[in-house]
Structure 1
Amino acid sequence: MSRTPATPTTLRTILGRGSRREDRRIGEILRRETVGGMLLLVATALALLWANSPWAAGYTTLRDAHLSLEALHLDLTVGEWAADGLLAIFFFLVGLELKKEFVVGDLRDVSRAVVPVAAAFGGVAVPALIYVLVNASAGPEALRGWAIPTATDIAFALAVLAVIGSHLPSALRTFLLTLAVVDDLIAIVIIALVYTDDLQPGYLLASIVPLALFAVIAQRRERLFRHRPGAAVLLLLPLALVTWFCVHASGVHATIAGVLLGLTVPVRVRTRTPETHGAPRTAVQEGLAETFEHRLRPLSTVVAVPLFAFFSAGVALGGWEGIRATAADPVAVGITVGLVAGKTVGILGTTALLTRTTRARLDPSVGWADLTGIAVLGGIGFTVSLLVAELSFATASPHHDHAKVAILTGSLIAAVLAAVILRVRNRHHRRRAVHRVG
């Protein structure tokens, strides 16, 4: 790696240190995602234990029990409610995070965002290509799962980094968050475009009305509800539910409604505040996005995502015979290799290509070994990968359970490898910090 210092006229430093405000925001995200990652791990372990115990029939009965709303013609199983309903809360927060990155985060600065954004696309393309190559002769059904290994789980990845990386450069945290957010955006587009089998244009067009009303009220809340701004939520909630229903009925996966709603919420509100002396100044107050995140983040972290993981990750391994059958399935092989090797090669290779063919250079505080650990960490698919697996294969298909086992296996391997690499790098940076202080 070149350590030549960047100059304003020739080189552009990437993975540089962000602003103090940005570093503080990343730190807050890491702390809360640590809790979310632990709860995901517990929910997954409980689901696997129950699904492979003598009481496995009880797990299946609970997951497949129907909860119907006849007035709305909704007849979904408990597992489907978790995937289509509860997970929409998670994707709403993803939409908010995307909006924040584009408005106040690193994605607003093209020169800082170009490399993690390109790395995210590389981290999607290479795993998909590996999966397709592995399953080229396996038939069209197997090829439906090409998008499964393309996702990065924000909660798990940031949780690992928070536990391991106490002395890692803050630029790596920003890089991982930006990459994971863009990765989620790509996954959202893939789900909307690829996994919509029976599109109902009427419902899709109808969803525009409540979505537009939601956007107007969210954007003009301070004007419309000047004396009672909290009353806006009483209107926004039913509009969000109507939008979700219309998107679900249209055939597009209902979690897309959550993302669209999140993107309409203002991230910051500017108001004119008079000064005692001089001209009025512009002050920034907390926006509706912060209000929603404060109220919904605990619901998503503690309830929505763990319940989805619980009802999605409970696959029967079938003993050694089942494990051998999974290992022999090209779908499982493509997913595992795609997550572990594909993500690493895609993220690291794209970054290396840009630094060698453009004026961009890594910040001197960041080494290629650091970036390798982050690239491997990107192979933790889990939440979104499980969702794509649900959409790719019918429950009766043997690929359905094999894909989920492969997701859990690949994510675990990626997490362990990344933890080893990043722990070594963390010690290196800690020694350097002590040496500088000394």
Structure 2
Amino acid sequence: MASPPTRTGPSRRLFSRGSWPEARFLADVLRTETVGGGLLLLGAVVALVWANSPWGDSYAALGRWVPWPGGAALHLDLNLAKWAADGLLAIFFFVVGLELKREFVAGDLRDPRRAALPVVAALGGMLLPALFYVGVALAAGGEGLRGWAIPTATDIAFALAVLAVISSHLPQGLRAFLLTLAVVDDLFAITIIAVFYTAEFHPLPLLLALAPIALFGLLVQRRKTWWWALIPLAVLAWTLVHASGVHATVAGVLLGFTVPVLRSRGSGPGLAEHLEHRWRPVSAGFAVPVFAFFAAGVSLRDADLGAVLTDPIVLGIAAGLVLGKAIGIFGSTYLLARFTRAELDEDISWADLAGVALLAGIGFTVSLLIGELAFGVGSAEDERVKIAVLAGSVTAAVLASVVLIRRNRVYRRIAEQETRDADGDGVPDVYQQRPGREA
């Protein structure tokens, strides 16, 4: 465990403890995302087994089935795989939008000093993987350059599921960092999808989408949570954004941004936290696992594994997830500490950060989505993307486990100190007995 050096004057600590209400909210999010990560893993495993079984053709046929073939006029003649990617993931991105707004208004990102760490780490954790991918692609003659953004995303549900299996005693400040890092990562990923992976752009439907989004925002700002009004408005906004050529999941983010975070009168959670509590289980427990089921089923029955493992797309993605993420997050955090003379919180060591940086290399949901947008669903490149994302994520998870399991004894000792409540008031003493520490 890192011990703070003696120095004069005020010091700034990285991963310092947040407030008790923030800790309780974080614990609730972690529980939901951890269960969701387990379901996501289950969906991916079922897809892989089915796709490589003697009944693999039926798996492919299920993904290609179009439930509403008459929707071509509204661009809604989508097969099940596309409905999972474009439709169900809009729920996931709606929750991301709520989460982002909450972090910027009432969470860690509202304080520029506290926001600097996850923002800088997320930038480093996206820039380095992209550079690794581009470097491999250029060395191979530029093949697959369009997929540069695939290894830049972190799958928080998958990462937390792995974390729950290998250790349940990670310090809260480090867990909060991982969650906030993933939120900022999602914000950059949304921007990348909207800017770089919009093949055809039709401005009129996008302008028309502003009307239902504005009406949705007006209702929620007035605390009108009528499901019979909000859900049709959300579906209409999604339909128009989809018709514009911008990826339809962006509609979910925009709708999430309209929801107020703070109560107009009194204290307690606002509407954003209320809706996040309602929709996060739907996102983590249904939408993302179903997407994983349709996206992860790559058939290896007739694949030349030697050729696949030396393919530049596969190598670029795997290198980006395993090396780029770890170096980018750890390196940017180290440089931030070096140039701002900040110190790690006394409960955390650089070895802990190295483990979490490796864990952030688990890219799944958004990585697979960007792969589909970059190369097209069902293309030969898309199949290689799936193999690379799975291989890179598993490798990152194994390496992170090796590091974090060694730290498990330290985590347990810290957790015992944090949960001690000598005065029996329901608030851990660690939140009451540290004068001079950041609230």
Out of 108, 116, 119, the residue aligned to residue 117 of structure 1 is: 119
Of 330, 342, 346 in structure 1, the residue corresponding to residue 312 of structure 2 is 330
Q: Which amino acid aligns with 2:27?
A: G
Q: Distance in 2 between matches of 1:435 and 1:178?
A: 24
Counterpart in the other structure of 2:244: 250
Letter matched to residue 79 of structure 2: T
**Contact 2:51/2:60 (<8 A) preserved:** yes
Q: 1:95 to 1:58 in 2, by over 3 A?
A: same
Query: Take 1:148 and 1:13, find their aligned partners in 2: how far apart are those partners?
Result: 33
Conserved 8 A contact 1:36-1:302 = yes
**One-letter identity of the residue aligned with 2:129:** P
Given that 1:34 and 1:163 are in contact with CA atoms closer than 8 Å, whether structure 2 keeps it comes out as: no
Structure 2 match to 1:107: 109
SS at match of 2:67: strand
Length, aligned pairs only: 416
- Displacement after TM superposition at 1:65 (Å): 1.0
Counterpart amino acid of residue 297 in structure 1: R
Q: Structure 1 runs of 4+ off > 6 angstroms?
A: 432-437
Taking only the aligned residue pairs, the percentage that are identical comes to: 57
Higher normalized strand content (fraction of residues): 1
Go from structure 1 to structure 2 and tell me whether the alpha carbon gap of 1:213 and 1:6 turns closer, same or farther (over 3 Å shift). farther
Which whole-Å CA distance do the structure 2 matches of 1:176 and 1:73 have between them?
A: 37
Q: In 2, distance between residues paired with 1:325 and 1:258? A: 39
Q: Which residue of 2 aligns with 1:143?
A: 145
Indicate if the aligned counterparts of 2:137 and 2:143 stay in contact, CA closer than 8 A: no
Aligned 8 A contact 2:171 2:415 in 1: no
Deviates more, 1:81-90 or 1:291-300: 291-300
State the match for 1:238 in structure 2.
Answer: 232
Between stretches 45-54 and 134-143, larger displacement belongs to 134-143
Instruction: Report the equivalent of 1:402.
Output: 384
Letter of the structure 2 residue corresponding to residue 51 of structure 1: A
Distance 1:325 1:435, change over 3 A: same
CA distance, structure 1, for counterparts of residue 90 and residue 417 of structure 2: 48
Larger deviation, residues 107-116 vs 10-19: 10-19
Residue 168 (1) aligns with residue 170 (2): yes
399-408 or 135-144: bigger deviation: 135-144
Within 5 A, what are the aligned runs for 1:13-412? 13-68=13-68, 69-70=70-71, 72-138=74-140, 142-221=144-223, 229-231=224-226, 233-271=227-265, 283-318=266-301, 321-395=303-377, 397-412=379-394
Which digits, 9 at most, give the CA deviation of each residue in 1:396-417, with x for residues without a partner?
A: 5322111111101111111121
Q: Which runs of 5+ in 2 are unaligned?
A: 421-439
Flag the 1:294–1:66 CA change in 2: closer, same or farther, 3 A: same
CA root-mean-square deviation: 2.0
Q: TM-score, normalised by structure 2?
A: 0.90
Residues 357-379 of structure 1: per-residue CA shift (max 9 Å, x gap): 11322112210000001100100
- Listed one character per residue, the Cα deviations across residues 250-301 of structure 1 (whole Å, up to 9, x for unaligned) are 1000011111111111122131xxxxxxxxxxx1244322332233222222
**Once structures 1 and 2 are overlaid, which stretch shifts more, 378-387 or 95-104?**
95-104
**Residue identity matched to 1:352:** Y
- Change in Cα spacing, 1:400 to 1:25, as seen in structure 2 (3 Å) is same
Q: Check whether the contact 1:5–1:364 (CA below 8 A) recurs between aligned residues.
A: no
> What is the CA distance between 1:160 and its match in structure 2?
2.3
CA contact (8 A) 1:31 1:162 kept: no
Cα-to-partner distance string for 1:320-377 (whole Å, 9 max, x where unaligned): x432221021000010011011100000000011111113221122100000011001
By how many angstroms is 1:318 displaced?
Answer: 3.0
- C-alpha deviation, 1:204, in angstroms: 1.3
Deviations 1:106-156 (A, max 9, x none): 111111120111000000000000000000144555001100000000101
Shift in CA distance, 359/137, structure 1 to aligned 2, threshold 3 Å:
closer
Cα distance 1:124–1:388, how it changes in 2: closer, same or farther (>3 A)? same
Change in CA separation of 1:84 and 1:97 when aligned onto 2, cut-off 3 Å = same
In 2, the alpha carbon distance for the partners of 1:67 and 1:424 equals 50
Q: Give the secondary-structure state (helix, strand or coil) at the position aligned to 1:67.
A: coil
Q: Which residue of 1 aligns with 2:408?
A: 426
Q: What is the deviation of 1:2?
A: 7.9
Report the secondary structure of 1:246's partner residue: helix
How far has the Cα of 1:5 moved from its partner? 4.9
Q: Note the alpha carbon deviations across 1:236-258, whole angstroms, 9 max, x for none.
A: 11111111011100100001111
Show CA shifts across 1:291-318 (max 9, x none).
3223322222222111100000001113
Q: Secondary structure of the equivalent of 1:380? A: coil
Q: Find the residue that maps to 1:270 and give its secondary structure.
A: coil
